Copies of this chain bind each other. A is one copy, B any other.
Amino acid sequence: MESMHIISTKQFLDKKILGSIFKLADDMEEKDRAGILINSLKGKILASLFYEPSTRTRFSFESAMHKLGGNVISTESAIHFSSVTKGESLQDTIKIISGYSDIIILRHFKEGSAEIASRFSSVPIINAGDGMGEHPTQALLDLYTIKKEFGNIDNIKIALLGDLLYGRTIHSLLHLLGAYNVDIFLISPEQLKLPEKYKNYLDKKGIDYKEIDNIKKIIKEIDVLYVTRIQKERFNSEDEYEKLKNSYKIDSEMLKEMKDNAIIMHPLPRVNEISTDIDDDKRAAYFRQAKNGLYIRMALLEMIFKKN
């Protein structure tokens, strides 16, 4: 983390940096559960600048800021806002808002927006999702969840299931996994396979990965099953959808095959790719994963302000 901004997972490709973030997140959780008030960011102001709504991500950052003693100013949906409709550029908006706040959480529908914002801001920018681009804090909380559940990341067997072509979350997580020694299984319909550039990246990092045509072939041996949503429209035909849909839906039948200490992850929101029947199984880790977002964001805010 050389920059004061958090724009891309590329900034975190170092086990030592990742380790220190995770350790700080552990500390944050411990203090939070003990009810200890942290006042390290007292007097600081976080601005949520969301050009498209994302209640969960926004609430998780704002809750993190409050838990550190800071204040929040917030837009739910800046796209409806005057300056935007009057045609103000992102640059101008950022120049002004960075005069009113100490950190900006930016969610934007357009890829590259966070990087542009960082060039014009006088305060740190955190990319909270920029269209087809990145959402680095999501990738960090995903990786943190694996670390927390297993105690380590090396030697873990991870299956990525669903839409591997368009899934921003999957791409960002794969990037971070490049720092570790893991086994990866890729399971997707033919037309939603992982793009070549990510396979090349895994090759370059010397990471073992296999493309598998059916989750059932490896369900018994994996440690992590990371599920993402496939939109029905992505299938080639209704026929194909009907034929394949059960291979991409996780339910109690499939759970029976899994190891006792395996976990199921999902970036949420889910629609019906994971049956609610399994929510109470201890292996269903997706709500713990969402909660980890709070602690990761507390850790990142703490680090940014300690640094600057």
Measured CB to CB, the residues of A under 8 A from B are 35, 37, 42-43, 45, 47, 52-56, 58-60, 62-63, 66-67, 71-78, 80-83, 86-89, 91-93, 95-97, 99-101, 268-271, 276, 287, 290-291, 294
Contacts and interface: CB of A to CB of B under 8 A. Distances in A.
A54 B75 CA distance: 10
30 contacts: A35-B43, A37-B43, A43-B67, A45-B67, A53-B81, A53-B82, A54-B82, A55-B82, A55-B93, A56-B93, A56-B96, A58-B73, A59-B73, A59-B97, A60-B100, A62-B73, A63-B73, A74-B74, A76-B81, A82-B269, A83-B269, A87-B269, A87-B271, A88-B269, A88-B270, A92-B269, A95-B290, A99-B287, A99-B294, A100-B294
A99 B290 contact: yes
A74 B72 CA distance: 11
Contacts of A99: 287, 290-291, 294
A47 B75 contact: no
Q: Which 7 A-B pairs have the closest CB atoms?
A: A88-B269, A99-B291, A63-B100, A66-B71, A53-B81, A37-B43, A62-B73
A52 to B, nearest CB: 7
